[in-house]
Amino acid sequence: MTSRSFNREFAWQMTASQVVGAAAVLAEAATRGGPVDAVVAVARGGTQPAHDIAAALSVPVRTVRARHNPTDAMYAQATGRVWCDAAEAGPVRGRVLVVDDICGTGATLTAVTSALARIAEPGAALVTATLCRNAGSPCHPDLTVWNDLREWVIFPWEADPPDGLPVRCLPDPGQALVA
């Protein structure tokens, strides 16, 4: 299994307004490939950006619960084993945008898209989008905003970092990178 890559010099802090801005960037980028019929949130981290993207595109959002890391602790080693229940997403038809907060090793995105592909109707297309991608990941989402990060990212829905860890605010989102 591939490990995530961290310098451990500081942690990136993402603000709620940056999530909204990044979701707008991803929504616009997703439409360049054609209309999006639905958005699937990878819970928990993909929930907020997926809802923001779906609202921007006026499409339904569904949720797939997935679990990869054994704990939410910073720098916890990823297991490579992902549990998910794609049936929660309901019918998979048309062009579907699968959204998560970060692509650390790529194991979660791979597991979720594989599970969705197994239940997808013929002709369905899955497009992946993440707010961030770790530099150590061999997986490249179709769309991402902050790419090749080498520090831990603290999202607005997560606990504050431990005392003593320097924190820097991520730069504001620009354009989504297409893999």
**What would the pLDDT profile of 129-176 be if each residue is shown by its tens digit?**
999 999 999 999 999 999 999 999 999 999 887 788 899 999 888 766
Per-residue tokens: 44: 């928990």
CA distance 65 to 172: 28
Helix H or strand E encompassing 148: strand 143-149
Q: Report whether pLDDT(1) > 50.
A: no
Give per-residue burial for 43-78: e unless 16+ CB within 10 Å, then b.
bbbbbbbbbbbbebbebebbbbbbebbeeeebeeeb
Per-residue tokens: 67: 């679990």
CA distances from residue 41 to 8, 45, 178 in whole angstroms, order as listed:
29, 8, 19
Per-residue tokens: 126: 């899955």
pLDDT in the model for residue 83? 75
Side-chain half-sphere of 95: how many Cα atoms within 13 Å? 11
Q: Report whether pLDDT(12) > 80.
A: yes
Instruction: State percent of the chain over pLDDT 90.
Output: 69
**What would the pLDDT profile of 20-51 be if each residue is shown by its tens digit?**
999 999 999 999 999 999 999 999 899 999 99
Structural domains for the chain: 11-178 (3.40.50.2020)
Q: Which of 91, 101, 80, 77 is nearest to 149 (CA)?
A: 101
pLDDT in the model for residue 73? 59
How confident is the prediction for the chain on average, in pLDDT?
88
CA distance 131 to 25: 10
Residue length of the chain: 179
- In sequence order, the β-bridge partners of residue 10 are none
> What's the mean pLDDT in 44-61?
97
**What would the pLDDT profile of 75-101 be if each residue is shown by its tens digit?**
566 656 677 888 878 889 999 999 999
Q: What one-character DSSP code corresponds to residue 92? A: B
